[in-house]
Amino acid sequence: MLKLIQFGKYNWYVLDEQNGKSLIITEKVIEKRSYNKQDGEVTWEACDLRKYLNEDFYNTFNDTDRKKIIETVIENNNNPWDGTNGGNSTTDRVFLLSISEVVKYFGDSGKLQSKQFGPKGESWWFNDQYNADRVAKFGSKYAWWWLRSPGYIGSRVAYICINGNVHIHGEGFKSGGGGVRPALWLHTKT
């Protein structure tokens, strides 16, 4: 069971602790937004949601809390099944988890390492014994939430399904129904 802490206006799960800092993610989906407003290919580096999280959302924290948020170099890996370009590394205060980080922090069943095929030959997602750990609510209802990793093409983005499946194929990024679950590294020692 993950440890839960309060930071700013939200409850956050602690995913990792090392050298006086913690990686945290909101307990719930905090809002629904599109990943990007324009059609076409986009990576995390250029998407509207990244800009929003590192500007408007970041500025909702008070001065004391903002000083605790660590600016971090974020690796943006290619889609692990289809090789879709993940883009350049970025330096962010607030970010979304990647496919590999979800597997690392919520449980690794080994299914990410080999492309999963459905009954009709499709390869869209995997489900495993860690689905329940990945589900999140928006208010009182379960909701799907964005990852920062690309989907099978550059105009789609991976996400976590409402039932906790890891959807590698992705969703069109203009979908306004995508849940936002920010993550950040936090100084824990003063």
* Three-class HEC string of 164-184: CCEEEEEEECCCCCCEECCEE
SS3 call for 185:
strand
| Structure token digits, residue 89 | 């590394």
Cβ count near 106 (within 10 Å): 22
3-state DSSP call for residue 41?
A: coil
Residue (of 168, 161, 123, 169) closest to 143 by Cα position: 161
Cβ neighbours for 115, distance < 8 A, ≥ 6 positions apart: 81, 123
For position 190, what pLDDT does the model report? 57
- Model pLDDT, residue 175: 62
C-beta of residue 24 within 8 angstroms of C-beta of residue 186? yes
Q: How many domains does the chain have?
A: 1
Q: What is the pLDDT along the chain (190 residues), one digit of tens a residue?
A: 789 999 999 999 999 999 999 999 999 999 999 999 988 899 999 999 999 999 999 999 999 999 999 999 999 999 999 999 999 999 999 999 999 999 999 998 988 888 877 667 767 888 899 999 999 999 999 999 999 999 999 999 999 999 999 999 988 876 668 999 999 999 997 5
Q: What are phi and psi of 113, to 5 degrees?
A: -70, -20
Q: What is the 3-state secondary structure of 54-83?
A: HHHHHHHCCHHHHHHEECEEECCCCCCCCC
pTM: 0.94
pLDDT at position 110 is 86
Euclidean distance between CA atoms 26 and 10, whole angstroms: 7
Structural domain boundaries enclosing 111: 3-187
